[in-house]
Amino acid sequence: MLVGTLVNTATVITGSLIGLLLGNILPERLRDTLMKGLGLCTIFIGITGMLGGSNSLITIISIAAGAVIGELCDLDGHLNRLAEGLEKRFKKGQDGRPSLAEGFVTASLVFCVGAMTIVGALNDGLTGNHDMLFTKATLDFVASMIFASSLGIGVLMAASAVFFIEGGIACLANLVAPLLQQNAATIPEMTVVGSVLIVGLGINLIGVGKLKIMNYVPAIFLPVLLCLFM
């Protein structure tokens, strides 16, 4: 059941190690250009994923309610404090280099928030179909190389987030299967909401804004309830 998750975790680790080795070779200007290019590709992936829904009201309500839940729980703050705690323990203290917290948070959000993560992990747990996570693993391999070369060792540590989040969703999939099967629109609507967050991640990556995407994560799961009534 966890084959897709294990492969995805392994590709993030491998890509990060390669990226760390390339970090001292690639010039800063090239790394910055690559990062922004990845941000544009992330926006493209998000926009294409936003086209599969049939009820925009579900997306709007999910994003609004999810933001309220995320802000009240301060998910972004908790994640940053966790990463900063890891930074204090492991940081090597290189001036002018991105912090471990920045690398961990950025990579964890890119690798773990989005339609491919949720739908792929659900397929992994419900049907044993690993195709989507295999595709995601290929994308994450390239992304982790670029991120690690720019953001450092924090990207490597984000592999643990990939394992626990994707593996957790896959393991819990059997528990929510009856609820998801009641309405065929549930997964497509979850995909649309996740894709909106992917666009937000892309905006952060190209430096246009600084959205607290983690505080919107609860929105991804709200269509499970909303599709029962709408």
DSSP class of residue 162 equals H
Residue 195: CB atoms within 10 Å: 24
Domain ranges of the chain: 3-46+55-226
Nearest to 159 by CA among 56, 8, 21: 8
pTM of the model: 0.71
Dist. CA 147–CA 154, nearest whole Å: 9
Q: % helix / strand / coil in the chain, to the nearest 5?
A: 80, 0, 20
Percentage of the residues of the chain whose pLDDT score is greater than 70: 87
Give per-residue pLDDT as tens, 67-96: 999 999 988 888 778 767 766 665 555 555
pLDDT of residue 44: 83
Contact, 15 vs 180, CB < 8 A? no
Dist. CA 69–CA 95, nearest whole Å: 36
* Band of residue 141 on the pLDDT scale cut at 50, 70, 90: confident
* Band of residue 61 on the pLDDT scale cut at 50, 70, 90: very high
Percentage of the residues of the chain whose pLDDT score is greater than 90: 12
pLDDT of residue 145: 85
